[in-house]
């Protein structure tokens, strides 16, 4: 073995300290160097929303991004409304809550129709209550 162990340990420590500066520069985040580009907002589009229930009467609430867009109760099996909101190419997520007075299995069908396109249909099943988020994408 050549050299003093203390001298070798000092050289290794010095080499690690030299590596510390470039390593810190590579791993530290710089807030001003990388700017986050927000995706362009989707243009507003109008579409027709239809809710059909297997059991009447029923109560329902439809929300989008935490905001209620349609709420109501119906004594008929079907209810519909036209809405205008952003509808990006990847689709929209709608929160659907529905409830029935009787504790029996029931279903609710949500149908979204944009212009002349074919309707996009989703069905949710529940016993006395349904609470779910459904995605309506144009390619479905």
- What is the per-residue pLDDT for 43? 78
Helix, strand and coil percent figures for the chain, each rounded to 5: 15, 50, 35
Phi, psi at residue 132, to the nearest 5°? Answer: -155, 165
- Residue ranges covered by each domain of the chain: 44-136
Beta-strand (E) ranges in the chain? 44-53, 58-64, 67-74, 78-86, 92-99, 105-113, 120-127, 129-136
Per-residue pLDDT of the chain (140 residues; tens, 9 = 90+): 577 888 888 889 888 888 888 888 888 766 555 556 666 677 788 899 999 999 999 999 999 989 999 999 999 999 999 999 888 888 899 999 999 999 899 999 999 998 888 999 999 999 999 999 999 987 65
3-state secondary structure of 102: coil
Structure token digits, residue 24:
């810190």
CATH tag, 44-136: 2.60.60
Q: Give the C-alpha separation, 57 to 46, whole Å.
A: 28
């Amino acid at each position: 073995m050549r050299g003093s162990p203390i001298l070798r340990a000092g050289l290794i420590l010095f080499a690690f300290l030299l590596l510390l500066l470039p390593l810190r520069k590579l791993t530290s985040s710089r807030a001003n160097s990388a700017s986050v580009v927000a995706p362009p907002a989707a243009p507003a589009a109008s579409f027709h929303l239809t809710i059909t229930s297997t059991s009447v009467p029923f109560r329902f609430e439809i929300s989008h991004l935490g905001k209620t867009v349609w709420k109501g109760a119906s004594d008929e099996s079907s209810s519909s409304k036209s809405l205008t909101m952003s509808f990006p190419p990847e689709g929209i997520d709608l929160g659907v809550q529905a409830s029935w007075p009787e504790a029996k299995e029931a279903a609710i069908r949500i149908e979204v129709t944009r212009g002349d396109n074919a309707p996009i249909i989703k069905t949710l099943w529940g016993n006395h209550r349904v609470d779910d988020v459904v995605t309506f994408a144009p390619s479905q």
